[in-house]
Amino acid sequence: MARTRFVGLLVLTIFLCLVAGQLRPSVAAPGGLPRDLFSLGIASRICTDRNSTAKASTDFGHMVQAAPEAVLHLATPADIAELIRFSASSPAPFPVAPLGKGHSGRGQTLAPGGVVVDMRALGRGRGAVRRRRRRAAVGRRPPRGAGARARPAVCTDYLHLTVGRTLSNAGIGGQAFRHGPQIASVHELDVITGTGEMVTCSGAKNSDLFFAVLGGLGQFGVITRARIGFEPALKRVRWVRLAYSNVANFTKDRLKRTLFEGPKSTQFFLGADITKLAGLASRFGSSTIYYIEGAMYYNEDAPALVDQLNFEPGFVFAKDVTYEQFLDHVCEEEMVLRSAGVWDVTHPWLNLFIPWSRILDFDAGVFKCIFRDANPAGLILMYPMNKDRWDDQMTTVTPTNDDVFYNVALLWLALSANDVDQLHRDNKTELAFCEKSGIEYKQYLPHRTSQDRWLRHFGVKWSRIIDLKMKYDPQAILSPGQRMFSLPVEAAS
């Protein structure tokens, strides 16, 4: 395999475009928002019409509806700070939630009765690389043109997300087993706290805030700029899939993690490949076929396929694509799903981190039992990550027992109302199975409905989260859609 070589730190800097909106607020302040809000300097960029608030009242999951009273369209980061300071100092503080592409699943980016901040101005027009002392400032996507080819150490499987929201969750993808989550590559942040203070932070400066917001689910501040380490990108990718009928061989080979790295695809196989895989399943009397997907990067000569793995003989599928095609392939799949009318549907996704020592138990109980006679529409991803690549100072949590854990992503499409109800029941059944079996799972992109459940999610980190919340967002203004704090923190704790 041709490996990328680290040649120095490149810097990802996210700037705000100075695009002043021409939106006019309603003459009368909407219910729940102080009238004085519309006398601030940002008033011309606050929109309260029904069309604007409706667009900010749901997300990718299409499972939660919660309308804000207004939407703020940014001109500068100072606009966010002014809005938050006003709310924090009001007799009745109102919630504020930053909204990028709205790719959350259960209303985590919504602000019912408050103000949604449209963050899409972040990073516009900043795609070129600018050389500066062996560093480069680039936009939020891997750069194109300007003679440079670079990438973040870890790219999420779906690129068209805002950096702030990605870093608020962690940011995982096919390279995470080697480099850790995207938050492990961050060197510096600009953050606006829940008191409206604008802070530059890093591991050495204002470090408690720095580590709090990385994986902090938006609870401690709004990220407006990030400096992230980059690596050189090669020109082409040998993209492979190896099929398995035996989960033990699959998990054994999947842990040979130096061999491959790469995101996942639903549009890889041709029709003849599907027929061949169906025959493999029939031969072993199974409805489940596993496959390892990998990418080997190169410039000129394509690398040879590895031969020390235990996949089914003859079930190797490969193709060569450009690096850009490989990295952005999920967007192409999005276009296919949109054209078929199955993109803007309900997505009852469930993402779990499962300890390596229990992954066979999870397979037996979930894939071989709960889904034995089911055939839901969607995609299942299952790949390992190394715990030592995750910095425990950060807010995000992982299973504690093993050095390796699996990301198991159940990415369902609910094509009818009956599908929604059934998949919700299945998700609850899966979680109940894990708890009954003593599988110490953690949710990625977590959805919890009470503080007691959040306490169980964060475990020993919960007391630190309370302290950080009291320091940086004592009125519990930020990201109310997470349903972590519904009252000022002094009362909630």
List per-residue pLDDT tens for the chain, 493 residues long.
333 332 232 233 322 222 233 333 333 355 579 999 999 999 999 999 999 999 999 999 999 999 999 999 988 999 999 999 999 999 999 999 999 888 888 889 899 999 999 988 765 544 333 333 333 333 333 333 333 456 777 888 888 888 888 999 999 988 888 889 999 999 999 999 999 999 999 999 999 999 999 999 999 999 999 999 888 888 898 888 888 877 888 777 765 433 333 434 445 554 565 556 566 555 655 557 777 888 888 888 877 766 677 787 778 888 888 988 888 888 888 888 888 888 889 999 999 999 999 999 998 999 888 887 777 788 888 888 999 999 999 999 999 889 999 999 999 989 888 899 999 999 999 999 999 999 999 999 999 988 899 999 999 999 999 999 999 999 999 999 999 997 777 544 4
Contact of 116 with 57, CB cutoff 8 Å: no
Assign domain 345-447 one CATH number from 3.30.70.3340, 3.40.50.300, 3.40.462.10, 3.30.1460.30: 3.40.462.10
Give the residues across from 112 on adjacent strands.
none
Q: What's the CA gap between 348 and 352, in Å, rounded?
A: 13
Helices and strands (H, E) in the chain, number of each type: 14, 19
307 burial via Cβ count (<10 Å: 0-12, 13-18, 19+): exposed
413-450 residue pLDDT tens: 898 888 999 999 999 999 999 999 999 999 999 999 88
Closest CA to 1 of 366, 448, 301, 443: 301
The dihedral of CA 370, 373, 379, 384: what is its sign?
A: positive
189-201 residue pLDDT tens: 999 999 999 999 9
Closest CA to 291 of 262, 327, 271: 262
User: 234-344 domain in CATH 3.40.50.300?
Assistant: no
Tokens representing 133 are 């002392």
Closest CA to 11 of 155, 235, 165, 186: 186
Q: How far is CA 52 from CA 49, 79, 297, 386, 437, in A?
A: 6, 18, 43, 43, 46
Q: What's the CA gap between 48 and 96, in Å, rounded?
A: 14
Q: Do domains 234-344 and 345-447 have the same CATH topology?
A: yes
User: 17-121 domain in CATH 1.10.10.350?
Assistant: no
Helices (H), 31-112: 50-55, 77-89
pLDDT at position 174: 80
Contact of 153 with 229, CB cutoff 8 Å: yes
Q: What's the CA gap between 128 and 139, in Å, rounded?
A: 7
Contact of 77 with 192, CB cutoff 8 Å: yes
pLDDT at position 148: 44
Assign domain 11-15+127-232 one CATH number from 3.30.465.10, 1.10.645.10, 3.40.462.40, 1.20.1250.20: 3.30.465.10
Q: What's the CA gap between 292 and 350, in Å, rounded?
A: 20
Strands 236-244, 115-118: pairing kind: unpaired
Sheet holding 404-412, edge to edge: 378-386, 404-412, 350-355, 442-444
Domain residue ranges in the chain: 11-15+127-232, 17-121, 234-344, 345-447
Is residue 238 within a helix (H) or strand (E), and if so which, with residue range?
A: strand 236-244
Determine the residue type at 110.
L
